[in-house]
């Protein structure tokens, strides 16, 4: 006898983990929250061949939606953990600027890279400047 709707999938472990993309989206949301929406964090994604790329953007709605791309990264989504992730461009003047084209192998290393990048004097000046202009 033919079973038309038989589920042939094995039991899948579909737990939620912190992927590079989810970590970046979390940080984008925190920027929006800390600036009370004056600046918004945005993570733009696209595909190119077998890789997924993303841009971490700061958007200024009050300036006609001006968008500043802070950095670019990519990874290969077929990797079970979402790592390694590769930094394609880093902010100019940031301590990690020299780390463009760097491979980040795990969540801890990504969080460390983000912590240094987002706390850099250059990024702080940029965020403060955009905030001031948007609030004028």
Which sequence spans correspond to the domains of the chain? 20-135
Write the DSSP assignment of 72-90 as a string of letters: EEEE-TTSTT---EEEEE-
What's the pTM? 0.83
- pLDDT over 60 at 98, yes or no: no
Q: Residue 133 above 80 pLDDT?
A: yes
Per-residue confidence at 91, pLDDT binned at 50, 70, 90? low
Q: Which pLDDT value is given to residue 99?
A: 52
| pLDDT at 93 exceeding the cut of 80 | no
pLDDT band at 10 (very low <50, low <70, confident <90, very high): confident
pLDDT digits (tens, 9 = 90+) for 32-84: 999 999 999 999 999 989 899 999 999 999 999 999 999 999 999 888 778 99
Please give the residue that has the higher pLDDT: either 131 or 90: 131
Burial of 97 (0-12, 13-18, 19+ CB in 10 A): middle
- 67 forms beta bridges with 59
């Amino acid at each position: 006898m033919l079973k038309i709707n038989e589920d042939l999938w094995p039991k899948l472990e579909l737990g939620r983990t912190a992927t590079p993309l989810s970590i970046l989206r979390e940080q984008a949301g925190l920027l929006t929250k800390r600036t009370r929406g004056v600046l918004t964090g945005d993570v733009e994604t696209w595909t190119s061949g077998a890789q997924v790329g993303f841009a971490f953007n700061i958007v200024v709605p009050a300036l006609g939606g001006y968008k500043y791309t802070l950095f670019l990264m990519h990874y290969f989504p077929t990797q079970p953990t979402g790592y390694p992730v590769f930094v394609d461009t880093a902010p100019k003047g940031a301590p990690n600027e020299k780390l463009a084209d760097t491979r980040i192998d795990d969540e801890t290393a990504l969080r460390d890279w983000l912590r240094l990048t987002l706390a850099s004097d250059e990024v702080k000046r940029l965020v403060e400047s955009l905030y001031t202009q948007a609030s004028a």
